[in-house]
Chains A and B, each alone.
Chain A
Amino acid sequence: MPDTVSAAEASVSGSLDGDYDDAAGYYTPGAPLVDTKAPDAPIAERWQTRKFEARLVNPANRRKLSIIIVGTGLAGASAAATLGEAGYRVKSFCYQDSPRRAHSIAAQGGINAAKNYKEDGDSVHRLFYDTVKGGDYRSRESNVYRLAEVSTNIIDQCVAQGVPFAREYGGLLDNRSFGGVQVSRTFYARGQTGQQLLIGAYQALERQVAAGTVETYTRHEMLELITVDDGTGQERARGIVARDMVTGEVQTHVADVVVLASGGYGNVFYLSTNAMGCNVTAAWRAHRKGAYMANPCYTQIHPTCIPVSGSHQSKLTLMSESLRNDGRIWVPKNQADCDKDPRDIPEEDRDYYLERIYPSFGNLVPRDIASRAAKNVCDEGRGVGPEVDGVRRGVYLDFSAAIERLGEKGITEKYDNLFDMYERITGENPFEVPMRIYPAVHYVMGGLWVDYDLQSTIPGLFVTGEANFSDHGANRLGASALMQGLADGYFVLPHTIRDYLADGPFEEITEDHPAVVEARESVKARIDHFLSVNGTRSVDSYHRELGNIMWEYCGMERTETGLKKAIDLIRSLKDDFYRNVKVLGGAETLNQSLEKAGRVADFFELGELMCIDALNRRESCGGHFRGESQTEDGEALRHDDEFAYVAAWEWAGEDSIPVLHKEDLTYTAIEMKQRSYK
């Protein structure tokens, strides 16, 4: 349990006084928060020390202990398989029809590991250093070092499972460099690394199903966390309420410990690169029960996605960023040319704006800068492509020079299926006309707060993968998401969870325990409410409107005025939703509108907290750019003196403002520096 004192006893940390606290009035200052689990040892020895100190559970006792795991992506499937192998009784839940569908499957690029197979100067320490620096010094160094340390085991594990990584002619594994780092440490399986890793974890999981140690509950959705007082006044996570999405049955499942591996919440923006079903509900319900939500405003915008083609758009598709190595980005100089065929626009009427504004980096400026610049030219009215809601949101990514240089064959060899994928979606041949790209929400660095053991502020609730906050700081480096999901599930959680389970089995909880009944009834009441409103607007129309607000005011650039406006807009939209949403069909059947209603309801509350978090952080770092905090030439400006902390938010109730707990970030093994692209 983190050390906390009551909000009343605490004083605001940091030296910002009320005049400069943009979020004053939107939150209550709370006690500082500390990770008490990382051993007090040199950074390179912390994990070994913790593994030794974490108590053991003997094999005979493991059979008496039960674990619930929500989510079957890389973090969830790997944990379920590993804990099943160890002999615990595992229940695994996913909303999809099979564990293999989890959205980890869509990751393209690769997975980092400090193998140093290229003998190019890589090491555990360098991977640690790159990850902390890439995260703009807003992650916890103990956790990141451990991530780098176990990365090498992941590759061994996956190869043994039969993951067909790319190989060289000698039969050894190939690496490529990725995400602007200077070493080649990324392992990959063509453009489908996520798929191959997930299938490996899924197969390990299904093997445990056959062995009888894991039970899978597919087409089940967690709608509430069950916490029970352990007799000392301490609430512990003891189970979940889940809805069988086929029959509509509201079930309670109890266990000794609960693990959330439920992924990210990028769908709060409606349009994102997430899968349609990705949602925050599991994490948000836990947040409302006492798990702090950390750094929710940190979202990563990916600059090279396929633009929106109309108001019917349901999702956005990412294309590998490597395209910027050969493509030149431009828009017309004159608004009048925006609907012309780009091939008819002469060179002197084109604005290669990245090359113009950033002559030294040109088209290869970092993700956040490329994204913001694209937004700015489109806001000026110089975007290209179809008009959606009166604005053209797209810029050209032009390969004509590269095609002349390398030939069509050379381009195809280099970019595999990307050109085909683009043509399939847009109907345009990028060998003939320039591609159109636009930034899109991709990954969220924020998530539930966890300590070094990956345990949240609720004892017995562990959080892994994208659903937690700890490893990526304010910006995630390429090929690091897969690494973190598998590190947490295969190599970290199985060790830290045993220290908690060594105190189990805990008191038996029955279906009619008051806390269980209360959780189950509250879920039923929510379902009944959505079905009984019978208003005039569909769930999707609300979701789209919320997404527009988030994108406009809490997207690539955030300002005090905009964020305050967004909070008001979200609050009134949420009120209208509860009064006027239209959900047809019944509770006791497959009802996709009902599923979406519950998810969107939680997105409203999350969206508001994201804006409050963004308001509080009056600095620019990583995926969070505050208009008020930039250098003269428009680069992100951090304020380490004021903001080198994790913002961990506590839910204070339906009608109260959230409480902010700060975890100060200190770096013993690394020096904080301002990022520079000069």
Chain B
Amino acid sequence: MNLTLKIWRQPDASSAGAMHTYQLADVSPDMSFLEMLDVLNEQLNEQGEEPIAFDSDCREGICGMCGLMINGDAHGPEVTTTCQLHMRSFKNGETITVEPWRSDAFPVIKDLVVDRSAFDRIIQQGGYISVNTGSAPEAHSVPVPRDDALRAFNVATCIGCGACVAACPNGSASLFMGAKITHLGELPQGQPERDSRVVNMVAQHDHEGFGGCTNIGACTAACPKEIPLDVISQLNKDLRTSIKHGH
């Protein structure tokens, strides 16, 4: 395939960026989207132009490090991560626009690389169960109903990639936050800190500059792990409960 690529280039956080246009020939449909960018980068290097910076690590859809807006869609046209998107999803002769995640809370570092450390700071404010190493009871001392464990697992699969934020017109991270609150809230071990967890995480979320949720659902549509929208309902429910409890 032959492609025209329009790619956002920005030297660093404080400089202005612009779209650059590149031509790429002989793209194999079996390439992943990032392998296509690797090939483009080899070509640029050859021509003496600095390669395009983009994030990726595991390239098997689980670490959450990659993430690009492709033709305006977070992670592109399929329900998957950018690293698991393959060029067979595109047509010969197509023009593809590639941008970094769009969100004020994810400032651009360079080209297509953004700073998602806000997610770590949200987790720091309560996205855990406090248990010091060595102080855990025997694993079978607290049975967990199979369905609860399954529900917890299904939302614990969030990879923290930020597609939900990038896809949301409000730039909200409610899906990311709701997934963690639901995961820990489904389990008996998560109960003691349930009220403080949601209050503190939401406060940090707002402090980071993420927007509020207005139930548009773009987040869940873009989520490569198909985290359901109802984790946000759970988040709101937990928030109301904590207020009732005097938080």
Q: Which residues of A contact B (CB under 8 A)?
A: 78, 81-82, 85, 96-103, 105-106, 115, 117, 153, 155-157, 159-162, 164-173, 189-190, 192, 195-196, 199, 202-204, 206-207, 209-210, 216, 218, 246, 273, 275-277, 309-310, 312-315, 317, 386, 424-427, 490-491, 494, 538, 540-541, 582, 584-585, 589-590, 592-593
6 new A-B contacts at CB < 8 Å, known A156-B137, A210-B124? A169-B146, A203-B127, A216-B120, A276-B58, A312-B28, A427-B29
Q: Does more than half of chain B's interface fall in helix, strand or loop, or is it mixed?
A: loop
B88 neighbours in A (Cβ, 8 Å): 427
B35 with A100: CB separation less than 8 A = no
B215 adjacent to chain A (CB < 8 Å): no
Residues of A with C-beta under 8 A to B28: 309-310, 312
In the bound complex, what is the Cα–Cα distance between A161 and B142 (angstroms)? 13
The answer to whether A427 and B30 touch across the interface, beta carbons within 8 angstroms, is yes
A173 touches B139 (CB 8 A): yes
Question: In the bound complex, do residue A314 and residue B157 qualify as a contact, i.e. CB atoms below 8 Å apart?
Answer: no
Closest to B187 in A: A162
List 8 A-B residue pairs with CB atoms under 8 Å apart, sorted by A's residue number.
Answer: A78-B133, A101-B58, A153-B134, A160-B136, A162-B129, A164-B149, A491-B133, A590-B53
Contacts of A199 in B (CB 8 A): 156
Q: Which 10 residue pairs spanning A and B have beta carbons closest together?
A: A171-B143, A203-B128, A160-B136, A164-B153, A309-B30, A210-B124, A82-B133, A156-B136, A164-B152, A160-B131
A195 to B154, CA, bound (A): 12
* Binary contact readout B118-132 vs A (1 if CB under 8 angstroms, 0 otherwise): 011001110111111
Q: How large is the interface on B (under 10, 10 to 19, 20 to 34, 35 or more residues)?
A: 35 or more
Instruction: Give the residues in chain B near A156, CB-CB below 8 Å.
Output: 136-139
Contacts of B189 in A (CB 8 A): 159-162
Given contacts A101-B65, A162-B189, A164-B153, contact A106 B128 (CB under 8 A): no
Asked if B35 and A276 sit within 8 Å, CB to CB, the answer is: no
Instruction: Take A161-B129, A426-B30 as given contacts and tell me if A593 and B153 are in contact as well, using a CB distance cutoff of 8 Å.
Output: no
Min CB distance, B90 to chain A, in Å?
A: 13
Given A157, A317, A425, A540, which contacts B136 in the complex, CB threshold below 8 Å? A157
* Residue of chain A at shortest CB distance from B51: A593
B146 interface neighbour in A171, A309, A589, Cβ under 8 Å: A171
Tell me the number of A-to-B contacts counted with CB atoms below 8 Å: 216
User: Which residues from 97 to 154 on chain B have a C-beta closer than 8 Å to any C-beta of chain A?
Assistant: 109-110, 113, 115-117, 119-120, 123-125, 127-140, 142-146, 149-150, 152-153
Specify which chain A residues have a CB less than 8 angstroms from the CB of B36 in the assembled complex. Answer: 312
Q: Which of B42-50, B167-175, B205-213, B231-239 is near enough to bind chain A?
A: B42-50
A190-B153, A218-B117 known; A538-B45 Cβ under 8 A: yes
Indicate whether B57 reaches chain A with its CB closer than 8 angstroms: yes
A314 to B156, CA, bound (A): 28
Q: Which residues of chain B (155-199) have a CB below 8 Å from chain A?
A: 156-157, 159-160, 183-184, 187, 189-190
Which partner residue on chain B sits nearest A216 by CB separation? B120
A97 touches B65 (CB 8 A): yes
CB distance from A125 to the nearest CB of B (A): 20
Contact partner of A584 (CB less than 8 A), chosen from B51, B129, B146, B149, is B51
Contact A189 B84 (CB under 8 A): no
CA of A209 to CA of B117, assembled, Å: 13
In whole angstroms, how far apart are the Cα atoms of A494 and B63 in the complex? 27
Closest to B27 in A: A312
- Taking beta carbons and an 8 Å cutoff, which residues of B are in contact with A? 11-12, 28-32, 34-36, 38-39, 42, 45-46, 48-51, 53, 55-60, 62-65, 80, 84, 86, 88, 109-110, 113, 115-117, 119-120, 123-125, 127-140, 142-146, 149-150, 152-153, 156-157, 159-160, 183-184, 187, 189-190
Q: Is the CB of B133 within 8 A of A81?
A: yes
Which residue of the partner chain, among B116, B129, B157, contacts A192 with CB atoms under 8 Å? B157
Contact residues in B for A155 (Cβ distance below 8 Å): 139
| With known contacts A203-B129, A206-B124, A427-B86, A315–B59 Cβ distance under 8 A | yes
Q: Which residues of B contact A424 (CB under 8 A)?
A: 80, 84, 86
Inter-chain CA distance A540–B189, complex, in Å, is 47
Q: A425-B86, A494-B133 are in contact. Are A173 and B58 (CB under 8 A)?
A: no
Contact A97 B115 (CB under 8 A): yes
Q: Are A584 and B45 in contact (CB under 8 A)?
A: yes
Please judge, given known A-B contacts A160-B189, A206-B120, A314-B34, whether A196 and B156 are in contact too, CB under 8 Å.
yes
A337 to B: closest C-beta gap in Å: 22
Chain A residues contacting B125 (CB-CB under 8 Å) are: 210
Pick the residue among B57, B130, B140, B183 that contacts A164 (CB under 8 A): B183
Find the B residue at minimum CB distance from A160.
B136
Q: Which residue of A lies closest to B136 (CB)?
A: A160
**Which residue of A85, A159, A169, A317 has the most chain B CB atoms within 10 A of its CB atom?**
A159
With A and B bound together, what is the CA distance between A216 and B189 in angstroms? 26
A96 and B45 contacting across the interface, CB-CB below 8 Å: no
Contact A100–B139 (Cβ < 8 Å): no
Given known pairs A168-B146, A424-B84, the reply for A246 and B109 (CB within 8 Å) is yes
> Which residues of chain A are near B139, meaning CB under 8 Å?
115, 155-156, 159, 173
Q: Which residue of B lies closest to A171 (CB)?
A: B143
A540 to B144, CA, bound (A): 49
Asked if B64 contacts A590 (CB within 8 A), the reply is no
The answer to whether residues A275 and B58 also contact, given A159-B136, A159-B139 and a CB cut-off of 8 A, is yes
Q: Is B48 a contact of A584 with CB atoms below 8 Å?
A: yes
- Bound complex: CA A577 to CA B110 (Å): 27
